[in-house]
Structure 1
Amino acid sequence: MVDIVFGFDFGVKRIGIAMGNTLTGQAQPLTVIRAVDNATRFQVIGDLITQWKPARLVVGEPRHPDGAEHDMTLRSRRFANQLHGRFNLPVELVDERYSSAVIPQKRGEIIDAKAAAIILQQYFDAH
């Protein structure tokens, strides 16, 4: 059975989303959500979940290079918990410490979706 999996790069201003499937184990950027309020963010995510029907969600968990937690670590965990609570899907956290290091540092929203794809690819590579 082939399952769709979504990956998320959570940010306060934007959330990058990627998708992939368990057959190919390949992640690709899907979209970026740029919404100020949680209601709109979760509405867009809900619409994507209805459209694609992922079996699992993966959220990047940012940390300092030494592994220590920081403010965004806790925010990402909270976001993961909200995803699980709202959509009743399994959610896994993936260490994203060096995911942005492999993306060219040009400004623009597509970077967030590419970061989500790297996070999701790390999940596929580990499983």
Structure 2
Amino acid sequence: MGRILGLDFGLRRVGAAISDSGRSIASPLEVYERGDEARDARHYRQLALENDVDLLVVGLPVHTTGREGELAGHARRWGAWLASVTSLPVRFTDERYTSVEADNLMISSGLKRQRRKALRDKLAAQILLQGYLDAGCPEEPSAPGPLADEAGG
């Protein structure tokens, strides 16, 4: 069983985190500045190969209501593209609040704004991948839904 690469999708930058071989712990890996498709394809093929990756998990940016917006559509198309260029399966996972959680962790650690900006995306990727691992690496994602507070619970 290979490792899982978790990706915090962004239009300009993509944060990445990697699981351990036992698929229980996620660690931040990198922040990648997107370029043209050929360069990006080479990068992700190499990253998957170097890290013995056999599954990609892409964060799906959904609204607090659970509805998917325009950015979620971009993430889904990018995930499909990523699957085609790496020949690896892609799963999507809800990434609500991962960037906020990453920021809060870094603020409480005393990191300055510039340092937080440089780390945010890969820490958000670690948080979303850890959530996926903690959920037991589900084959099919549950449909994103409202948070308990919004559902009246």
Normalised to the residue count of structure 2, the TM-score between the two structures is: 0.76
Establish whether residue 83 from structure 1 lines up as the match of residue 92 from structure 2: no
The amino acid that maps onto 1:109 is A
Normalised to the residue count of structure 1, the TM-score between the two structures is: 0.91
The amino acid that maps onto 2:126 is A
* Residue from 126, 131, 135 that aligns with 1:126: 135
Residue in 2 that maps onto 1:15: 14
Native 8 Å contact 2:3 2:23 kept in 1: no
Native 8 Å contact 1:33 1:41 kept in 2: no
Residue in 2 that maps onto 1:93: 92
Deviation at 1:98, TM superposition (A): 1.9
Native 8 Å contact 1:59 1:91 kept in 2: yes
Decide which moves more: 106-115 or 116-125: 106-115
Decide which moves more: 47-56 or 58-67: 47-56
Identity of aligned residues (%): 34
Residue in 2 that maps onto 1:41: 40
Native 8 Å contact 1:18 1:31 kept in 2: yes
TM-aligned CA distance change 1:80 to 1:24, over 3 Å: closer
What per-residue deviation string (whole Å, max 9, x for no partner) do you get for residues 6-30 of structure 1?
A: 0000101101111013515111110
The amino acid that maps onto 1:20 is S
Residue in 2 that maps onto 1:103: 102
Moved over 6 A (4+): none
Residue in 2 that maps onto 1:112: 121
Residue in 2 that maps onto 1:29: 28
Specify which structure has the bigger relative contact order, considering alpha-carbon pairs within 8 angstroms and separated by 6 or more residues.
Answer: 1
* Larger Cα-atom Rg: 2
- Structure 1: tracts of 5 or more residues without a match: none
Deviation at 1:35, TM superposition (A): 2.7
Residue in 2 that maps onto 1:72: 71
- Structure 2: tracts of 5 or more residues without a match: 105-112, 137-153
